[in-house]
Amino acid sequence: MPANLAALRAQVELALAGRVPAPFTIREHQVENVPTGISEVDALAGGLPRGALTEIFGPPCSGRTSLLFSALSVRTMNAEACALIDGCDAFDPHSAEAGGIDLKQLLWVRCRTMEQSFRATDFLLQAGGFGFIALDLSDIPRELVHRVPLDTWFRFRRAVEGTPTILLVLEQEPHAKTCASLVLRVNAERSRWKTTNPADVADFYRNPFSRLLDGSEVHVEMIRSRSHWGTKTDFQNGRDPRMRDSSMKIFETKEIFGF
């Protein structure tokens, strides 16, 4: 048996000669992480990895957009070319600019269907030149995203590997988890409200329009992390409670109203 394995290995190496050097050698691939602009998330995940696919998922109003805006703000303020593939044409540039995003550094691709979104993502990944590409599928029904073939996510991962590009996908549920180097789940736990009523008036039902959403307390959980090629940690299935605790953080958002 060892002789047969050695012969098979030699045949594979010969067939791949000139195309894949040392195919059976595990190569360490150090990943550069860049900050998201939210200290709690950076402390939890170490930032967003370049040359990899990152997936952020959660229900509506969970804090996904706040995390996206923060990451875009950091990257555009560093004069990095960024692109946002807007799956349902829901992006608000006024709120984005108020949140610190330099719109001159952002390519906004407005899509109306999921097919348009994936074609645009393919094109931008192949074109190159972008440091940050975000594919926002947050408002697309999860049943539709669930139908996306697994090979599509693998193709995206392969296209971004070895490049300085950060590929970020936002969804309601984790559909790209198998191909993602980093997977974060977000969920808003508690909301803060501003009120125009005097301090001694607390009847919200009699004055329903006297309050505005001021922000939320967002719970972030790291579901999966791959620090370098070949090593991954799945926190979702971890049995050690200490590991579970270390995979969770809470940050607060500030509501931004763009007019």
Domain membership flag for residue 199? yes
Q: Picking from 80-89, 102-111, 228-237, which range would have the lowest pLDDT averaged per residue?
A: 228-237
Q: How confident is the model over 171-190, as a mean pLDDT?
A: 90
CB 165 within 8 A of CB 51: yes
Q: Count Cα neighbours of 254 within 13 Å in the Cβ-side half-sphere.
A: 8
Structural domain for 106, as ranges:
51-252
Beta-strand (E) ranges in the chain? 33-34, 48-49, 52-57, 82-86, 106-110, 132-136, 166-171, 182-195, 211-228, 231-234, 248-252
Q: Picking from 7-16, 47-56, 156-165, which range would have the lowest pLDDT averaged per residue?
A: 7-16
Domain membership flag for residue 238? yes
Domain membership flag for residue 14? no
Q: Which position has the higher pLDDT, 69 or 6?
A: 69
Domain membership flag for residue 217? yes
Domain membership flag for residue 233? yes
Q: Which position has the higher pLDDT, 129 or 11?
A: 129
pLDDT 10s digits, 213-227: 555 688 899 998 875
Domain membership flag for residue 7? no
Q: Does position 229 have pLDDT exceeding 70, yes or no?
A: no
CB 67 within 8 A of CB 41: yes
pLDDT score, position 251:
52
pLDDT band at 10; cut points 50, 70, 90: confident
Counting the structural domains of the chain, the total is: 1
Q: Which H or E run includes 156?
A: helix 150-160
Which domain CATH number covers 166? Answer: 3.40.50.300
Residue 21 in tokens: 């050097």
Q: Does position 68 have pLDDT exceeding 90, yes or no?
A: yes
Domain membership flag for residue 40? no
CB 145 within 8 A of CB 119: no
Domain membership flag for residue 25? no
pLDDT score, position 239:
38
